[in-house]
Amino acid sequence: MGLKNLLTTHIGAPDSHTLNHYRSVGGYESQKKALSEMTAEQIVNDVKNSGLRGRGGAGFPTGNKWGFIPKTDKPKYLICNGDEGEPGTFKDRLLLEKLPHMLVEGMVIAAKAIDSHQGYIYIRGEFHKGIRVVEEAVEEAYKAGLLGKNIMGLGYDFDLAVYSGAGAYICGEESALINSLEGRRGHPRLKPPFPAVSGLYACPTVVNNVETFCNVPHIIRMTGEEYKKIGTEKSPGTRLFAVSGHVKKPGIYEVEMGTPMKELIYDICGGIKNDKTLKAVIPGGSSSPILTAEEAMTATMDYESIASLKSMLGSGAVIILSEVADLVETTYRLAEFYSHESCGQCTPCREGTHWVKDLLHKIKNGEGTEKDVELIFSLSRNMEGGTTICPLADACVMAVRPTMTKFKGEFSARLKKEVSISH
């Protein structure tokens, strides 16, 4: 366990984003193998055998997702979700800027697996450099015959376009992203139907995130069975973790799944900044419930371990909080984010996130009471568990309620002391 370079083996090269460098280290050989030697079913089965799980948040098995695409005469679309907007998350941005051809190659292989001939890379609007680099990579690939008609002379056609979003966090949800691609307002859709049946332009669609697609060329090169030997049985492979907060060496680290969180924090990241004491860890982006220091020291960086602690590995953002962290301020800031980013389509989310944010603002300023705390918990119960079309309201609850529960003392200390009136 620990650090393991798979996706990031050559990321340190100054020209890693170029076609010449990518081909010099074996780039597009997996694409050639997939297009010339493998059937669509063999590609899907290889990815299934690898155990690769989506690296965007939910951790759904990638091969199973591809297998849901029906056999139909309708066009099938392939979409890369590069709308990385979760607070604390920045690992996909690195891949877009440094390894765009790995993404392109992974998408071409996935396209053959689901019989798609049109793909889109949807990138967050603020990622100006990433958009430019990916557009240049796509142009290079077209000129080299690695995209377009009769790719590599092997008889498969696949076109790929880059689409810039407008910086809406909600468009990271796959159906809202699809609406945005269609030129509609970025509102999530009711499910079913799921995108695999009725997605972009009401046609079968697969949406995977950047890191997921970047794993595909490595799986084809080494075979799914060999890939599964990395990591744990139920969480195979490596994972890019964006580590931020109170650590001595924040950054993006590719580690083998199953690596102890303690090793990630103290060995790989050098320990807590200024040698302070660890207070808490947000293990998978702001929507994953917070872990106490004691919980974090027992956790390993895989889906099952984090789930056993009632949290999520999520988007791969590990936020380290030391004893100097003001968790009331932190929780308010996250609630403010979700209130701002709610699309307003569902009442429990539109109103609930706003109320939670305002109540936390009162508590933060020392003006809140026990009744405000009770109201936050009451609102939380009405916001979660399927009361909204997408999980944004649930994400707000998960960012707020566990912190208020596990660190109750910090919130109680900020409450206004109610004076009883004697007659």
- Sequence spans of domains, the chain: 19-229, 232-322, 327-414
Alpha carbons 99 and 216: distance in angstroms, whole number: 13
Q: What percent of the chain has pLDDT over 90?
A: 96
In contact, 22 and 276? CB cutoff 8 Å:
no
The residue ranges of the chain whose pLDDT is under 70 are 418-423
**Cβ-Cβ contacts under 8 Å for 172 (sequence gap 6 or more):** 56, 81, 83, 84, 85, 86
Given this model, what pLDDT does residue 102 score? 98
Alpha carbons 231 and 267: distance in angstroms, whole number: 18
Alpha carbons 115 and 109: distance in angstroms, whole number: 10
Token pair listed for 265: 């924090």
Given this model, what pLDDT does residue 418 score? 59
Alpha carbons 106 and 118: distance in angstroms, whole number: 14
Given this model, what pLDDT does residue 152 score? 97
Domain 19-229, second-level architecture: 3-Layer(aba) Sandwich (3.40)
Computed over every residue of the chain, the mean pLDDT equals 96
Residue 414: phi and psi, rounded to 5, are: -95, -5
Given this model, what pLDDT does residue 57 score? 82
pTM of the model: 0.95
Q: Is 321 exposed, middle or buried (0-12, 13-18, 19+ CB in 10 A)?
A: buried
H or E element at residue 317: strand 317-322
Q: For Cα atoms 388, 314, 121, give the angle at the middle one, nearest 5 degrees.
A: 85
Greatest CA span in the chain, whole angstroms? Answer: 92
Q: Which CATH class is domain 327-414?
A: mainly alpha
The CATH code that applies to domain 232-322 is 3.10.20.600
